[in-house]
A and B are shown apart, each in its own frame.
Chain A
Amino acid sequence: MNLPALSPDIPIRFIEVEILAGGVTILNRVSISIGAGAPTVLIGSNGSGKTTFLRAAMGLIPPSRGRITWGGRDAVPPKRRAIVFQRPVMLRRSVAGNIGYALAAASVPRDQRERRTGELLSLVGLQGLQARPARRLSGGEQQRLALARALARNPTVLFLDEPTANLDPAATKAIENIVQEVSASGVKVVMATHDLGEAKRLAGDIVFLHRGSVIERGPADAFFAAAATDDARRFLAGDLLI
């Protein structure tokens, strides 16, 4: 793998970002800076704005108000960023075809694609399945292929939207191992999860969202040991936040 050691697209800064959809506020004047280091994990109940936050950080949704900067630059999101959606869509191609497509889209020279495909399949543990139609893979395998496809872009920042939702423990462990390996190689991982155990295992810092607002943000250890806000404590205790 040829993964970056340092990202020029960090920090990602949200400055008074507001996102509205159909008159409903999805993100409410969010100001936050995400720096280099261990994974930043977004937690919060369903509808708290985690997915919208990731899509906005990826540059897929423009803010209704405010602005987002990547490494101090705004208006144009960096090329070397990638996202894995909660339900990734497999292109109607083989496993290798899916990765080859992502490599081509990332302008990787044709003569390097086969080698890179092999490396990525090996990284996510799908070697030997390259000829299989991607849609025939299991849910866990599809998530790993989606990760490989995202890594084909050689990203400096990787966004993951609930990458282990609906996966069994073995598949979850496989995904988490890859995330840790990718993070250790210098890629900034920003992920959303509703699984507090996963957040504890992976997070360097936590962003707790509720109803489109950042309620609390801090190092994972401190957050889980003694959350500062009442909403966060209630969320950690398993209360339903409405």
Chain B
Amino acid sequence: MTENATALHMVLTGDPVLFGIVRLSLAVSLSAVLFAALIGVPLGGLIALTRFRGREPVVVVLNALMGLPPVVAGLAVFLMFSRSGPLGSLGLLFTPEAMVIAQTVLVIPIIAALARQTIEDLWIEYRDELAAMDVGPVRRVRTLIWDARFSLVTALLAGFGRAAAEVGAIIIVGGNIEGFTRTMTTAIALETSKGELQLALGLGIVLMFVIVLINALAWGVRRAGEHFIA
């Protein structure tokens, strides 16, 4: 069998090694996106709706952090959780939890920056009406996040795309341990370097399929929302 055919066979027969890696990858990246959304969306909303000294530099830094190199994020988390680091006693290094934290750090700026822009645009549109209704700051933030929810799906997608595709952060903090912290991207990197292309190709096929599927689902949710609500 050629390498391509072997890879396809592994995917179609549900190869346990391959799908164990896929499961861990999805669990890590989706968890990271969830945590990053819980932090990034309110953070973006707060920056969008408040005026404070130094706001513009904060926006510039936040936008710049969208391009944070994964290896730098991984290194920062590694230093935090290494034995001599401030959180070393937690013993999280080389665990899936550390990988979730590293990806969360990587994804927060993406979600926060895109959420800030989305919410700020909607705020400009809603400002007069909400002021006329005497809507207070807390309800204002809730309203804008809720009404922008279908646009914010795009921010979550961008975050997921970043998390699912990155290898630098999780290989540093996860260690690419077989059966424990090995994900699709770290496995592809390792298998390719070993010249074992079947598993690498199989994982590549699944990774592409997952990304397309999640984008299609999000697109469907957004379209349905725009049609029935917006």
Partners in one complex: yes
Contact of B126 among A82, A83, A91, A150 (CB under 8 A): A91
Contact with A along B198-230 (1 / 0, CB 8 A): 000000000000000000000000000000111
The answer to whether A79 and B147 touch across the interface, beta carbons within 8 angstroms, is no
Known contacts A133-B228, A133-B230, A135-B230: does B147 contact A91 (CB below 8 Å)? yes
The answer to whether B133 and A89 touch across the interface, beta carbons within 8 angstroms, is no
Nearest-neighbor residue (CB-CB) of A136 within chain B? B230
Contact of B139 among A89, A105, A149 (CB under 8 A): A105
The answer to whether A133 and B133 touch across the interface, beta carbons within 8 angstroms, is no
Nearest-neighbor residue (CB-CB) of B136 within chain A? A105
Central interface residue in B125, B128, B131, B228, by most chain A CB within 10 Å: B128
How far does the alpha carbon of A72 sit from the alpha carbon of B82 in the complex, in Å? 67
How far does the alpha carbon of A102 sit from the alpha carbon of B143 in the complex, in Å? 12
Nearest CB of chain B from residue A163's CB, rounded to whole Å: 14
Contact of B132 among A82, A93, A94, A135 (CB under 8 A): A82
How far does the alpha carbon of A92 sit from the alpha carbon of B228 in the complex, in Å? 10
Central interface residue in B126, B133, B134, B230, by most chain A CB within 10 Å: B133
Set of chain B residues within 8 Å of A149, measured between Cβ atoms? 133
Central interface residue in A58, A105, A106, A149, by most chain B CB within 10 Å: A105
The answer to whether B230 and A60 touch across the interface, beta carbons within 8 angstroms, is no
The answer to whether A89 and B147 touch across the interface, beta carbons within 8 angstroms, is no
Nearest CB of chain B from residue A101's CB, rounded to whole Å: 7
Q: Is the interface of B mostly helix, strand, loop or mixed?
A: helix
The answer to whether A91 and B129 touch across the interface, beta carbons within 8 angstroms, is yes
The answer to whether A88 and B134 touch across the interface, beta carbons within 8 angstroms, is no
How far does the alpha carbon of A102 sit from the alpha carbon of B135 in the complex, in Å? 9
How far does the alpha carbon of A68 sit from the alpha carbon of B228 in the complex, in Å? 43
Set of chain B residues within 8 Å of A153, measured between Cβ atoms? 133
The answer to whether B147 and A85 touch across the interface, beta carbons within 8 angstroms, is no
Nearest-neighbor residue (CB-CB) of A107 within chain B? B134
How far does the alpha carbon of A135 sit from the alpha carbon of B125 in the complex, in Å? 13
How far does the alpha carbon of A101 sit from the alpha carbon of B128 in the complex, in Å? 15
The answer to whether A92 and B229 touch across the interface, beta carbons within 8 angstroms, is yes
The answer to whether B128 and A89 touch across the interface, beta carbons within 8 angstroms, is yes
Nearest CB of chain A from residue B137's CB, rounded to whole Å: 13
Set of chain A residues within 8 Å of B148, measured between Cβ atoms? 92
Nearest CB of chain A from residue B123's CB, rounded to whole Å: 11
How far does the alpha carbon of A88 sit from the alpha carbon of B126 in the complex, in Å? 9
The answer to whether A106 and B133 touch across the interface, beta carbons within 8 angstroms, is yes
The answer to whether A92 and B147 touch across the interface, beta carbons within 8 angstroms, is yes
Contact with B along A85-110 (1 / 0, CB 8 A): 10011011110000001100110000
Set of chain A residues within 8 Å of B132, measured between Cβ atoms? 58, 60, 82-83, 85, 150
Central interface residue in A94, A133, A149, by most chain B CB within 10 Å: A133
How far does the alpha carbon of A58 sit from the alpha carbon of B5 in the complex, in Å? 72
Nearest CB of chain B from residue A82's CB, rounded to whole Å: 7
Contact with B along A111-149 (1 / 0, CB 8 A): 000000000000000000000010100000000000001
The answer to whether A93 and B134 touch across the interface, beta carbons within 8 angstroms, is no
16 of the cross-chain contacts (CB-CB < 8 Å) are: A58-B132, A60-B131, A60-B132, A79-B134, A85-B129, A88-B129, A89-B125, A89-B129, A91-B147, A92-B229, A93-B147, A101-B133, A106-B133, A133-B229, A133-B230, A149-B133
**Chain A residues in the interface with B (C-beta under 8 A):** 58, 60, 79, 82-83, 85, 88-89, 91-94, 101-102, 105-106, 133, 135, 149-150, 153
- Which 5 A-B pairs rank lowest in CB-CB distance, beginning with the nearest? A105-B133, A92-B147, A92-B230, A83-B132, A89-B129
Given contacts A133-B228, A133-B229, 16 further A-B contacts (CB under 8 A): A60-B128, A60-B132, A85-B129, A85-B132, A91-B126, A91-B147, A92-B147, A92-B148, A93-B229, A101-B143, A102-B133, A105-B133, A105-B134, A105-B139, A106-B133, A150-B132
